[in-house]
Amino acid sequence: MANVIAAPISDPEEIKQRLVEQVTGMVRWTECVTWLVKDGGVTQLVELGSGKVLAGLAKRIVPETPAVSIGTPADVDAFLATLN
| 1 class by beta-carbon count within 10 Å (0-12 exposed, 13-18 middle, 19+ buried) | middle
| Residue 74 pLDDT exceeds 80 | yes
CB atoms inside a 10 Å sphere around CB 80: 10
Q: Kind of pairing, strands 67-70 and 45-48?
A: parallel
Compute the C-alpha angle 39/7/68, nearest 5°: 65
What is the per-residue pLDDT for 58?
Answer: 97
Strands (E), the chain: 45-48, 67-70
To the question of pTM greater than 0.75 for the whole model, the response is yes
28: Cα within 13 Å, side-chain hemisphere: 16
What is the per-residue pLDDT for 1?
Answer: 86
Please compute the mean of the pLDDT values over residues 48-58 and round it to a whole number: 94
Q: What is the mean pLDDT of the chain?
A: 93
| Residue 84 pLDDT exceeds 80 | no
Please compute the mean of the pLDDT values over residues 21-35 and round it to a whole number: 91
